[in-house]
Structure formats: structure tokens, C-alpha cells
Chain A
């Protein structure tokens, strides 16, 4: 297939992309690492000085960091659970014959295509507003007090929004995986006397395990950096209640102008993401060999 001449052509053709991505990733990352060792504030430029690991110490011992770390883990964890469980259930549901299944599928998939800012504001105002929102009306009709989501349970509100947005992603992936399950396997199991529940646990779920892993890994990568929803609804508050690591870094960089500190925080975020990325890359790499 490859003859001498085309290997060289191949290298030339892939070079621009590789170089572009290299510059995009390595150079800024390098700068971030460099900044993280400086005391650098945008309000007093030109007065940077080397402080070694001071920024990291401040960042990692800052109670704000722990709060944001907790929020991040809570946010990511909750959304994962909701979307994976919901995704499996909805996937199973959509795998059955239903009248108008095609259209139903479109309805279920839709939330994923809504831009995050719209998502956030529609939920915050039209649905969750304690006076005129939909939820308020439902609660009042049932005789309950309406919840002021963004004062009483802000993180929960964010979790609900983000889950709603990512549920279709999980459904799509898991449904695709479900539909790739050989009918033959299920039929063989039926011949062996297995009921629907056994079939689910012994055949369906193991088959889905790979897809679930992919969903978990990919969602984690993207959920670690949830930003727009927080930016547009709570601004991280009240207090630090909805600040995750991404937002914390943002506030330090562009609101407090503390470049040094923000850089250290950014590196922490990168390290966290890398841990997950390693697993995902290995999984995909194995798939490449198939």
C-alpha cells in the first residue's frame, strides 16, 4: 500500500495539523506553568517575581479550593449517576417498539443541542423561578411551598440543568450500543430459560459496560469544566456554593486579576483532567487496534 513516495507525502500532509495542535497545547500550557511560579497580578504589571511553589501552596490550602473541589466532585458525580442510570433506562425504553419512535427519539435527544447559556437561563427563569416559574406553580398546586432554587439549593439546580443537557448524550450512546447487541444472544438466553431481568443483568449490561465506560470517561472530561451555566446563573454563588474548579480559576484570573494564582489553579485542573484522560486514551487506543 505505501510506497516510498507516499510516506513522505503523508508526513507533509499531517504536519500542519500536528504542528498547530502542538502550538495550541504546549505553548499556552508552558506559559501557564511558568506563570504559576510567579507572583503576577494584572493590576500591577511589570512587577512579577518568582515565588516558586507559593501559588500552589496558597491555592491548595485556600478553603475556596476545597469548597470548589467538593463542588466539582459533587457536580460531576451526580451528573454521571443521573445520566448513566437515566441513559440506560431511556435507552432500554427506546429500544422497544413504540408508536412514533423516531419522533420520540428526537424529543429525547433535543436537550443536547441547546446551547448552555440558553439551557441555564430557561431553567433559571421559566422553570425554577420561585414565583412565576413552572416548578413553583406545580408545587403550589400540590400544596407545597415553592423552592427558591438558587438560594436554597443552587448546586442542585446546576446539577439538574447539566444532567438534563447531558442525558441525551448518554441515551444516544447507550442506545447505539444496545442496538448493536445481537438478537441471537438474547434468543439463545431465552432458549436457556432466562427471563427479562436475568437477560438484562447477564447479557445486556455486560455488553453495555464498554459503552458505559466511554460515556463516563467522556462526560467526566467535559463536566470537569462546566462553566457557562454557572457564569450565567449564579456567578459561583451564593458565596462559593456553586463554584467549581474551572469557575474558581476564572474568578481568580479575570475578576481578581491574580494571574499567578489562577495559573496554579489551572494546572491543578489540568492534572485532574489528565488522570481521567489517561484511562480514556487507553480505552480508545485498544479500540484502534480492533
Chain B
């Protein structure tokens, strides 16, 4: 069907497609643009697209006044932390399920997935109470645990599908070559699985960074990540659009970039392998 397009049709369709794409992207574009305007400029009508006084004052203010850096660090700690803990649990688990499957393996995998499908609100109460009573509220440790547990099923699942793609006879060859189990994993399995592990890590960082239920309910000041910080702009005083835009741009930029590089992995991870 592709080869039936005329050159003119090709250009026309491309223009149409780009218009659609730009429309979809517009809110993000507008947000970034606003971050470079003064507050007055941001709320003025009609809105200006290019000819205004570009300024970086918002970015400076966001850091100076509200200690943006601390929230960003929390986001980093929570996402990277929960990812590393997750890998610690998920890699052996996925390895076992991929290479030593038992009759129960399939059921176990599906059950793990089902825990991800439980709405968090169903356990909000006990988790909140447990956190409160054990002094875990507003702690980075507590949040890392929660985020790790929420995403563990996806990590196990993704690693499982990647491990399954490693031909088992290569591992058998290693065994015949005299490799003990640890050596087999270190010298043969892990090098071959590095792309898969990297993808899983990226996906997990994205999901943890953007998580906006537990991070909103279980943190107040110390452990609050960027999601909570941005949420605090929902009831501000005075003009705040530019600052909001600046803070938001900073908050989403890293994930946007990571996400752009990991689209395929996203599909695999979020559909639990049901779509390849």
C-alpha cells in the first residue's frame, strides 16, 4: 500500500501528520515556552509565542525559593533506589523461572502480575497505618519499599521474557565447558542479558519517577519527590505559572529523554509481553 502514494500525496500526508503530531505535543511545548516568560507575560492575553522577553529567572527562583534540588534528589533516590532493590529480587527470580521452570512457574508468574493489578486504594488504609505506626511515613526508605513492591511484578516479568530469549543451549554449552552455576551466570548469562536488564531498569525508573499515588499520600516534607513538589502548586499564592512551568520542565525532562530511548521496552513491559 505504501508504494501507491504519489509524491504530492506523500508531502500532503506528511504535512497533515505533522500538524496532528504538533497538536498533541503542544501542551508540552507551551509549558516549556512559558517557563521562559515572566509571570506577567505568562498570564497576559493574547499569549505570545516568540516575541517576548526570554528570561531564566524562573529557573533560578524555583531552586532558590523552594529548594527544588532537594525534591529532585528525592525523585532520583526513590527511582534509582527502588530499581536497584527490585533488580536484587527480580533477577534471581526471573532467572529461576526462565531456566528452571516447574509446573508452578506459570501460575506463580501470573499471580505476581495480578498483584500489580490490585488498585492501590484498596490497601491505602493499612499501608498508611502501618507506615504511621512504624515511623515510616515520609521516609525515603519506606517509599523505596513501596515503589519496589509496586513494580516488582513488572520487573520480574520483563526480565523473564528477556531471559527466555537467551537460547538455553548456550548455557548448556557453558555447563559442558565446566562452568559452575555462578560462573555460568557471570560469564555467559549476564553479558547476554545486559540489554534486557538495562531496559528493565529504564522502565522501572520511569514508572517510579512518575508514580503519583503513594508519593502523594505517604510523604510530606523529607521524602517528598518531584510529584509531590509539583502538586504543591495546586493551591499557590499569587502568580505562579512561569515558575510552575519551569519546575515542571525540569521535573519531566529527564524522564522524557529516557522514555524516548526506551519505547520498545515500554511496550514489552507494560503489556506484560502480550504484544511484541
Contacts and interface: CB of A to CB of B under 8 A. Distances in A.
Interface of A: 1-2, 6-7, 9-14, 16-18, 20-21, 24-25, 27-29, 31-32, 35, 90, 93-94, 96-100, 104-118, 120-123, 125-127, 131-132, 134, 136-137, 140-141, 164, 167-169, 172-173, 176-177, 180, 186, 190, 196, 199, 210-211, 214-215, 218, 221, 224-225, 227-228, 231-233, 245-246, 249-250, 253-254, 259, 262-263, 265-267, 269-270, 272-274, 276-277, 280-281, 283-285, 287-288
B109 interface: yes
B52 to A, nearest CB: 14
Contacts of A232: 230-231, 234
Interface stretch (B57-65, B191-199, B204-212): B204-212
B100 A115 contact: no
A222 B260 CA distance: 22
B25 interface: yes
Q: Chain B contact residues: over half helix, strand or loop, or mixed?
A: helix
A224 to B, nearest CB: 6
Interface of B: 1-2, 5, 10-11, 13-14, 17-18, 20-22, 24-25, 27-28, 30-31, 34, 42-47, 89-90, 92-93, 95-97, 99-102, 106, 108-110, 112-115, 117-130, 149, 152-153, 156, 168, 172, 181, 206, 209-210, 212-213, 216-217, 226-228, 230-231, 233-234, 241, 244-245, 248, 251-252, 255-256, 258-260, 263-264, 266-267, 270-276
A259 B45 CA distance: 47
A113 B79 CA distance: 14
B106 A114 contact: no
B271 A104 contact: no
Most buried by B among A127, A199, A250: A250
Most buried by A among B27, B102, B206, B267: B27
Contacts of A285: 106, 110
B10 A97 contact: yes
8 contacts: A1-B99, A14-B108, A108-B21, A111-B27, A137-B46, A262-B124, A269-B119, A269-B121
Contact of B126 (A9, A31, A98): A31
Given A107-B24, A131-B45, A259-B125, 18 more contacts: A10-B101, A14-B96, A21-B149, A21-B153, A28-B126, A31-B130, A94-B17, A96-B17, A100-B18, A107-B22, A109-B259, A111-B25, A127-B30, A167-B24, A215-B271, A218-B272, A228-B227, A280-B117
Contacts of B47: 132, 134, 137
Contacts of A96: 2, 5, 13, 17
B275 A211 contact: yes
Given A270-B119, A287-B274, A125 B241 contact: yes
Nearest to A104: B21
A13 B88 CA distance: 10
Contacts of A131: 43, 45
Given A14-B108, A167-B24, A233-B234, A32 B125 contact: yes
Contacts of A9: 96, 100, 181
Contacts of B119: 224-225, 246, 266, 269-270, 272-273
Contact of A13 (B96, B122, B125): B96
Contacts of A180: 276
B122 A29 contact: yes
A125 B27 CA distance: 11
A21 B125 contact: no
A186 B117 CA distance: 37
A115 B92 contact: no
Contact of B275 (A25, A132, A167, A173): A173
Contact of A29 (B89, B118, B149, B227): B118
A284 B118 CA distance: 16
Given A21-B152, A28-B123, A270 B118 contact: yes
A14 B93 contact: yes
A172 B206 CA distance: 16
Given A17-B152, A90-B20, A127-B27, A113 B244 contact: no
Contacts of B230: 115, 117-118, 121, 232
B178 to A, nearest CB: 15
Contacts of A173: 267, 270-271, 275
Nearest to B161: A288
Most buried by B among A17, A93, A96: A17
Contacts of A190: 1
A31 B31 CA distance: 43
